[in-house]
Structure formats: C-alpha cells, structure tokens
C-alpha cells in the first residue's frame, strides 16, 4: 500500500484542494520511492536545468474532517509495522 489507510484498513479518502484525495504514506519506503520519481529531471523532458518544485503543505489537509488533518486513528505502514 502506498497511501494512508483508515482504521478499517481501507484507503483513506478525504477532500482537499484538488477535490477527493488519497494521501501518500510517507512512512512507507515504497511510497517515498514512488513520490521521488515525480521529481526526477527525466520526468520533465525539454525543460531547462533550472526547474524547481514548491510544496507548501507540510501536513495533510483534509477539509471535510473534524480536525482538518488526517484522523488520529489513520494507519501508516512503516516497513512491516503498521502504526
């Protein structure tokens, strides 16, 4: 699994800027590796070497939840351990 799961073990779905969303589980080494591929220079053919990324969201935003972030009982996969 590459995304955060809800307490029942299903992919967590919330609502954020783009609309209905799932959230990468950055605890998972596999999820981090897949995310990193999105920022490889070869993913942007024909672009100049001065290509930058701005990611200003340092925590998950969930606009339709009571806490405006992931629920406290969300499940994260850290290697073989599920937290």
pLDDT, tens digit, for every residue of 1-56?
Answer: 899 999 999 999 999 988 999 999 999 999 999 999 988 888 889 988 888 888 77
60: pLDDT strictly greater than 90 = no
pTM of the full predicted structure? Answer: 0.81
The CA-based dihedral angle spanning residues 51, 21, 31, 48, taken in that order and rounded to the nearest 10 degrees = -10
β-strands 14-16, 77-78 pairing: unpaired
Determine the pLDDT at residue 83.
62
Measuring CA to CA, how many Å separate 28 from each of 15, 48, 52?
A: 22, 31, 25
CA–CA separation, 50 and 46 (whole Å): 12
Q: Give residue 11's pLDDT.
A: 96
Task: Flag whether pLDDT at 79 surpasses 70.
Answer: no
């Amino acid at each position: 699994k590459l995304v955060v799961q809800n307490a029942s073990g299903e992919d967590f779905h919330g609502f954020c800027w783009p609309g209905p969303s799932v959230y990468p589980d950055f605890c998972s080494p596999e999820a981090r590796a897949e995310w990193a591929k999105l920022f490889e220079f070869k993913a942007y053919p024909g672009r100049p070497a001065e290509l930058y990324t701005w990611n200003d969201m340092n925590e998950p935003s969930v606009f339709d939840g009571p806490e405006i972030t992931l629920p406290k009982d969300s499940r994260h996969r850290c290697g073989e351990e599920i937290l």
